[in-house]
Amino acid sequence: MKARLVVLASGSGSNLQAILDACAEERLEADVVFVVVNRRSARAAQRAEEAGVPVAYRPLGPFRDEFPGDIRRARETYDTALACEIAEVHPDLVVQAGWMHLFSSAFLDRFPGMVVNLHPAMPGAFPGAHAIDDAWAAHERDGLDHTGVMVHLVPDEGVDDGPVLAAQRIDIAHDDSRRSLEAKVHAVEHELLVRAIGDYLQR
């Protein structure tokens, strides 16, 4: 029986596309059964629709409006509502593929050992939303000669620091630019994420 994947994305959805392609080509014994985006402009929604996968737009904004000045309560209420919606499709794995939202335990406790995240840095390096920019700044400032990509479990509210499922180093060449480094990172992301999902599902 194929595994059921829910994919969460906030941007272009190129990593979602890599997963969809791997499923279609049977490189992954899985199906994407639901996609959630939290930004109206996210091209990931279009990619899901083109693949015939149900997609939902679920922004945090309305919850911030409901609880002005209490971002913690807004996040937890949002996370609880989203967890309930995702639970209805009975996922085997929830994949954060460029998902710009830090989940609270209100979400994570609903899916123990089932949430994985893709992060464009090596374990322990450059946590947060600007990892590629941070690596490039370190290269220009200190001569940093590599960065990387990792896929890790998300067991708690820590930022990009859960148990690592896979990681790959990416060298920063002397003739790289910020743009070429980002292209390298994305190319590795697409392969590493698919491989890590497949390996984890077969554990």
Output the CA torsion sign for 45, 184, 149, 71: negative
Cβ(166)–Cβ(154) under 8 Å? no
Cβ(66)–Cβ(90) under 8 Å? no
**Short-list 161, 150, 153, CA closest to 189:** 150
Q: Of the listed 101, 119, 139, 190, which one is catalytic?
A: 119
**DSSP H or E run through 105:** helix 105-108
**Short-list 11, 10, 16, 8, CA closest to 190:** 16
Residue 119 annotated as catalytic: yes
Between CA 146 and CA 197 the distance in angstroms is 24
Cβ(44)–Cβ(12) under 8 Å? yes
Question: What positions carry a catalytic annotation?
Answer: 119
